[in-house]
Amino acid sequence: MREISTRFWVNLRIESMARAIANLDTLRNRIAVSPMCQYMSDQGVATEWHRTHYSALARGGSGLVVVEATAVSPEGRISWADAGLWNDEQAAALEPIVREIKRAGAIAGIQLAHAGRKASANRPWEGDDHIPEGKPNSWTPIAPSAVAFGANLPRVPDAMSVEDIHRVQSDMAQAVRRAKDIGFDWLQLHFAHGYLAQNFWSCKSNKRTDQYGGSAENRGRYLLETLAKARSVWPENLPLTARMGVIDFDGNDEQMLGESIDLLRQMKREGLDSVDISMGFNSPDANIPWGPNLLEDIAAKVLRETQLPGSTSWFIDGPSSADRMVREGKVDFVMIGRPLLSDPHWPYHAAKELGVPEAAWKTLPAPYAHWLARYR
């Protein structure tokens, strides 16, 4: 007989992170919707697609819904159809989405991002490659150094001046202010996946000889400064988190992991409350060991050594794996992506599978829960 889960469905007390969520100090469970790009925005403005998409995910029962990578400036979009938060029209379009997420009983989070040298690409299902210079919907990407990612993303970015760096950090601060003003209660900075923060963090993309390049201290400077800038605008009582690429699976793993743990310890001192452990994606020829729960042990190590509360994602192999990772204390919560695209009611099915009493009422809105709980 399988042990009935308790811990997965015990509410995650956000107080255990340094800050408490205003008026709501717990998540209803330890399932978070991973930020997932929809590439369905119009000039960075959320559309009807986003309203129904996020509403369905929130109604599906996850404790936290993190809105997709949202660019802090136009050139920081991965594609022309990315979400943005560099103007008030974009903020106004997101506001009702935040309200719907909260009305459905989830915490509303947002991931703020800058794509760096991976910017100006086609949507994944339209090629996933760089749009060449001069073509419609293309622009010149910017990055710490004029070094291309390679493979499907061959465009050489413009190397950023120190003024450019400060401008993007100030764009970040303004986007954070807008996120706060429209009611988000959870902020995640995108420090992973080969985008701008990783372009600074990785020796592969950062060839600078100034204070932003060279040593780990210098390569981490952009990330620490950006975090401090965000922290100065984001309310003290709300969680400020990051998705951090800690490993590339490119042969330099021990060094990157060690340096990342060190940097995260400094971020914690600068006010980082929680971290989602992910990959760097800094190189097209990395050898990623794709498979079930591939980041589980790496995440556990980083969270243990930094003493940061946190999560991981990537091929979490179903509810019992997720539950086990939490029960074993490896992560504090899980970030679920693709399984929620396949089934927005994944939390309900997870609760049933794990033997949670009143699974429907714990996860779904009354008009669904009533019928599912009574007449099965």
Q: Which residues are catalytic?
A: 195
Q: Residue 3: what residue type?
A: E
- The distance of closest approach from Cβ of residue 163 to ligand 536 in the complex, given in angstroms and rounded to an integer, is 26
Q: CB-wise, 37 or 143, nearer to ligand 536?
A: 37
Number of residues forming the site for ligand 536 (CB under 6 A): 4
- Distances in whole angstroms, Cα of residue 178 to Cα of each of 72, 90, 288: 10, 9, 36
Report the 3 state secondary structure along the chain: CCCCCCHHHCCEEHHHCCCCCCCCCEECCCEEECCCCCCCCECCECCHHHHHHHHHHHHCCCCEEEEEEEECCHHHCCECCCEECCCHHHHHHHHHHHHHHHHCCCEEEEEEECCHHHCCECCHHHCCCECCCCCCCCCCCEECCCCCCECCECCCCEECCHHHHHHHHHHHHHHHHHHHHCCCCEEEEEECCCCHHHHHHCCCCCCCCCCCCCCHHHHCHHHHHHHHHHHHHCCCCCCEEEEEEEECCCCCHHHHHHHHHHHHHHHHHCCCCEEEEEECCCCCCCCCCCCCCCCHHHHHHHHHHHCCCEEECCCCCCHHHHHHHHHCCCCCEEEECHHHHHCCCHHHHHHHHCCCCCHHHHHCCHHHHHHHHHCC
For ligand 536, which residue of 37, 94, 97, 197 counts as binding (CB under 6 A)? 37
Of 187-216, which residues contact ligand 536 (CB under 6 A)? 193
Q: CB-wise, 222 or 281, nearer to ligand 536?
A: 281
Of 278-307, which residues contact ligand 536 (CB under 6 A)? 281
Of 242-281, which residues contact ligand 536 (CB under 6 A)? 281
- The distance of closest approach from Cβ of residue 37 to ligand 536 in the complex, given in angstroms and rounded to an integer, is 5
Q: CB-wise, 193 or 204, nearer to ligand 536?
A: 193
Query: Does residue number 149 form part of the binding site for ligand 536 (CB under 6 A)?
Result: no
- The distance of closest approach from Cβ of residue 257 to ligand 536 in the complex, given in angstroms and rounded to an integer, is 19
Q: CB-wise, 99 or 123, nearer to ligand 536?
A: 123
Q: Give the N- to C-terminal CA distance of the chain in Å, as an integer.
A: 23
For ligand 536, which residue of 27, 32, 67, 69 counts as binding (CB under 6 A)? 69
- The distance of closest approach from Cβ of residue 15 to ligand 536 in the complex, given in angstroms and rounded to an integer, is 29
Q: CB-wise, 192 or 227, nearer to ligand 536?
A: 192
Q: CB-wise, 12 or 46, nearer to ligand 536?
A: 46
- The distance of closest approach from Cβ of residue 33 to ligand 536 in the complex, given in angstroms and rounded to an integer, is 14
- The distance of closest approach from Cβ of residue 288 to ligand 536 in the complex, given in angstroms and rounded to an integer, is 8
- The distance of closest approach from Cβ of residue 335 to ligand 536 in the complex, given in angstroms and rounded to an integer, is 11
Of 310-349, which residues contact ligand 536 (CB under 6 A)? none
Q: CB-wise, 38 or 274, nearer to ligand 536?
A: 38
Q: How many other β-carbons are positioned within 10 Å of the β-carbon of residue 92?
A: 13
What residues make contact with ligand 536 under the rule CB under 6 A? 37, 69, 193, 281
